[in-house]
Each structure stands twice: as structure tokens, then as C-alpha cells.
Amino acid sequence: MSKQNQWIVGVNAVASAIEKDAENVREVLIEAGSKNPRLVEIEENALRKDIAVRKVNAQALSGVAGQLRHQGVAARYAAAKLTEEGELPGLIEAADGKALLLVLDEVQDPHNLGACLRSAAAAGVTAVIIPKDKSAQVNATVRKVSAGAADTIAVIAVTNLARSLKEMQKLGVWVYGLAGEATQTIHQLDLRGNVALVMGGEADGLRRLTRETCDGLVKIPMPGDIESLNVSVATGIALFEAVRQRL
């Protein structure tokens, strides 16, 4: 898998990269004069793992962080590029009948994508599938929000989402879309085998072709007055229902 250098920023994202993937952290920039104990901890961990640390002013950090809040720390990171589309069958096979796939149909807000990836990593998801077009892609914002999860799980950008869903079905994966108008709830599903959970985008939910390709539609029961949940919240609920059943 080839590498591409980029900056990651923020305390959680940098700390996670040093802890989980130190060999790909090229250097760490820390705000000079900061009294934040988390930054001291990050510096000590970096030096312990032979990662170069530079003390810089806040302006230099803002220069690499762009619009993101850097919280006094940034790291130059050789991030792995996305998992290739052709690797998905092997990942499903290696899961030995227990593949749990998260499919995001045109989730366009990087903060939502980052939060979904964080939940996916916590739930032990096999892979996250996103479209190449009309979808947020894994960038610095996503990495920051995901707190390092973006580089610990397989994220696959596909050219044709409906075709990819059909290929999953041929490999023995049951594909379920989350939709508010569904009659069956997610708690009534058996989520213990090869399962893909498909979440719709922020504006329009599941696209028609995606919806028609699913084996079934389910909903999260909501007895309150709100009609829908933020996609990252719904993703967390759906994934951890699968985790609950598998435990």
C-alpha cells in the first residue's frame, strides 16, 4: 500500500497516531511554551519512539492546520492510501462468516464521516465503503474527528456503489439499508453473520438505486418527536446493535 505525506492535527489524532502507528509518524510539531500536560505526554511518547519533535510558534501550527483547530500539536504523517476496491472480497473471506461492513451512501460532511469511522473502528468493522463521487473523502478533518480511526480500519472508495453492494451479496453478505419509513426495526434483524449496514447521506438519505439493491430496509425505533437522527449517531446505534448480538 503506497504512502502519502500529510499533516494531522489535534491532541487525540496525533496521540493516536504515535500510539498505534509510530513508524508512519515523520515528525511532531508542538507549540513552544505550552503548559498543556497532554502535549508533554505526546512529546515524551514521540521521543520514546524515536520520532523527531520540534517546538514551533502558534503561527507555524496554524499554517499546517489550515481551518482546523490544532490544539497546540501537529504531526507529519505518512498516511496509508485507501484500501483498494479489489481487496474487499479477501477481507470478507478472512472474516470467516462474521464480516461487518459499513456502507455510507453520499455522506458529505467530513465531520460526520470522521465520527462514523470512529464508531466503525470501535465496533471492529471489517471495512467501510464510500462512493468516490459526491461523498466526503478521508482528509485531515476526517482524520482529526476520527481520532486516528481513519488509519486503523479499511476504507474503500468505490466507483459504483450499487454494483459493489451486488458483489457483496454474491459473496454471502446480507445488505440492509437504514430508512425511517421501514416497518422492521434493526433490533428484529439477525446481525450475527456477514452483514452490511447502509446509511444514507445527510440530505436525502438512501438513493433510490441503493435502496432497491438492499436485501431489506430497517429503522431505528424513535418514540420521541424527532423524525431522524444525525447519520453518525444512527451509525453508532446500528453498529453497536450488531456488536451486542455478536457478543
Write the pLDDT tens digit of every residue in 157-210.
999 999 999 999 999 999 999 998 899 999 999 999 999 999 998 888 899 999
Considering the chain, what is the average pLDDT of its residues?
Answer: 90
The answer for residues whose C-beta is within 8 angstroms of residue 195's C-beta and 6 or more apart is: 99, 100, 101, 173, 174, 175, 176, 242
pLDDT of res. 16: 85
| Mean pLDDT of all residues in 208-215 | 95
Q: Please state whether beta strands 3-9 and 195-200 pair in parallel, antiparallel, or not at all (unpaired).
A: unpaired
Domains 3-80 and 85-246 share a fold: no
Cα–Cα separations (whole angstroms), residue 218 to 67, 166, 179, 199? 37, 18, 6, 11
Structural domain 3-80, CATH architecture: 2-Layer Sandwich (3.30)
pLDDT confidence of residue 52: 94
pLDDT at 143: 77
Span 118-139, mean pLDDT? 92
| pLDDT surpasses 80 at 22 | yes
Spatial separation of the C-alpha atoms in residues 155 and 134, rounded to whole Å: 16
119's enclosing H/E stretch is helix 110-122
pLDDT of 93 reads 94
pLDDT of residue 150: 80
What's the chain's Rg over C-alpha atoms? 19
pLDDT surpasses 50 at 65: yes
For cell 472480497, the residue is 89
Using alpha carbons, select from 73, 75, 74, 76 the residue that is nearest to residue 39: 73
Give every CB contact of residue 185 below 8 A, 6+ residues apart in sequence. Answer: 218, 219, 220, 221
- Average pLDDT score over residue span 240-245: 97
What CATH number labels 85-246? 3.40.1280.10
More reliable by pLDDT, 228 or 158: 158
Count CA atoms within 13 Å of residue 34 on its CB side: 23
Confidence of residue 1 (pLDDT cuts 50, 70, 90): very low
pLDDT band at 13; cut points 50, 70, 90? confident
Is residue 229 part of an annotated ligand binding site?
Answer: yes
CA distance 216 to 113: 24
d(CA 174, CA 194): 6
User: DSSP readout, 176-241?
Assistant: EEE-TT-SEEGGGS--SSSEEEEEEBTTTBS-HHHHHHSSEEEE----SS-----HHHHHHHHHHH
Q: What percent of the chain has pLDDT over 70?
A: 97
pLDDT at 131: 94
Region class of 11: left (phi > 0), else alpha (psi between -120 and 50), else beta:
alpha
pLDDT of 79 higher than 70: no
Confidence of residue 81 (pLDDT cuts 50, 70, 90): low
33 is in an annotated binding site: no
pLDDT at 7 (0 to 100): 86
Answer whether residue 5 shows pLDDT above 80: no
Written as nine digits, the cell of 27 is 515528525
Domain ranges of the chain: 3-80, 85-246
| Interatomic CA distance for residues 211 and 28, integer angstroms | 44
Average of per-residue pLDDT across 116-131: 96
pLDDT category at 98 given cuts 50, 70, 90 is: very high
The helix-helix angle for 37-48 and 11-21 (nearest 10°) equals 20
Q: What pLDDT was estimated at residue 2?
A: 45
Please indicate if the annotation marks 220 as binding a ligand: yes
